Structure 1
């Protein structure tokens, strides 16, 4: 199992798509901070960030889209594409069990997804702090505590969304289908829950305690201790459940 994980980690480090995503996110974060720094509100400027914390909050807001799109792209190229190239077939005939093969791949994939989710807000915080100073945030007594909380919950929320995308990637043999279906699913699932929840109240309750709702609220400064705990536990439970489904689906999947 350890050798499988090392092999998958090596493949992730060699993945051009993974490094391209990280590069685009890093450049985007720095560019946005520089634009804010150069913008003058007194001269008709529309940007109003004045501290590194402002940039961090903006970066966390952007993570709503980065997580949903990023996990789908990575799942398409890191998981689904290996069916068409024959890599997955060679892996299951190499003496390892199917459970070991898919667990190793999804574990490394989840780690890559988490790194992708952390990069943009961290780069925004670093670049913003260098340009403006770290500053403060209204409604937050401890800036350090807020940063640690947000980054910790980003790990759990990103892992849960990545686990969902991993299941999609396991079911589909084509990277394009995985990316397309995953993006559509993540961006329409909230509307589906809202529509059905208007007629079936329990569906609304289920949504409120799902990762799809947690990703919207987990960066709020006034988040209570109870909600922080829920936002940590719900994604972790979701990740575990989805990984089990990935294993079950991969065991029954016909690999050509």
Structure 2
């Protein structure tokens, strides 16, 4: 398992799509605050700017960039024959799948954290914000973004494993993440017995993670445990699909 992880880490570092996305996000994160009027930002605290500007943009990123990354980092290995070589190397498919899932999750988390980290830092230096900043609150949201990023990565890895084609994977994932919340809302309104499960899914919980400090202990526990369980359950499901899959 260790050698597989090292191999996937090497691939992650050398992956052109990952490096390109990271570079674009860093440039955007550093430059975007300069497009905001200083007078407008001065009326806010950094916490408020972080919630209403940075996290709102990041919510769109989670629906776009990791989907594109999945299409290149995972499915491209099927088309090039790399996955067939790995599968025939003697390593168990369970280890192969989880090593790929682990590194893809790390890459996705990095992508999702670049904007909050760099843009928050740039804005904090550039603007003279009103009031004090709750840095502990901001750091805790970083942690929540990370575990939700891993949960979404487990969904993307399954889709990439099923389709094994760049275009199909990216297209389906973009459509899926664009429509899933509306679709789940519709299902919950029609099938009320599923309402609790749907409203406590990672898709419905993620948009409200910035409100975690307003939740009671039970709600906070749900907010944290759901993405962790999602990652584990979908990881096992994905490894089962990969084990049964015929790799050409």
Question: What is the TM-score when the length of structure 2 is the normalising length?
Answer: 0.92
Distance 2:18 2:108 in 1: 9
Confirm or deny that 1:240 pairs with 2:235.
Answer: no
2:176 to 163, 185, 198: 185
1:2-39 CA-partner distances (Å, limit 9, x unpaired): 01100100001001110111111111112211111xx3
Please, which runs of 5 or more residues in structure 2 have no aligned partner? none
**Is the 8 Å Cα contact of residues 33 and 55 (structure 1) preserved in structure 2?**
no
Could you say which residue in structure 2 is the equivalent of 1:107? 102
| Structural RMSD (CA) | 1.7
- Paired residues for 1:1-80 under 5 Å: 1-36=1-36, 39=37, 48-50=40-42, 52-57=46-51, 58-80=53-75
Alpha-carbon shift at residue 223 of structure 1 (Å): 2.6
Could you say which residue in structure 2 is the equivalent of 1:45? none
Question: What is the TM-score when the length of structure 1 is the normalising length?
Answer: 0.90
Please, which runs of 5 or more residues in structure 1 have no aligned partner? 42-47
- Paired residues for 1:74-89 under 5 Å: 74-89=69-84
Alpha-carbon shift at residue 204 of structure 1 (Å): 2.4
- Paired residues for 1:80-159 under 5 Å: 80-133=75-128, 136=131, 143-159=134-150
**Is the 8 Å Cα contact of residues 103 and 243 (structure 1) preserved in structure 2?**
yes
SS at match of 1:242: helix
Count of aligned residue pairs for this structure pair: 244
SS at match of 2:211: coil
- Paired residues for 1:208-223 under 5 Å: 208-220=199-211, 222-223=213-214
1:76-95 CA-partner distances (Å, limit 9, x unpaired): 11111100000000001112
**Is the 8 Å Cα contact of residues 102 and 250 (structure 1) preserved in structure 2?**
yes
Confirm or deny that 1:167 pairs with 2:158.
Answer: yes
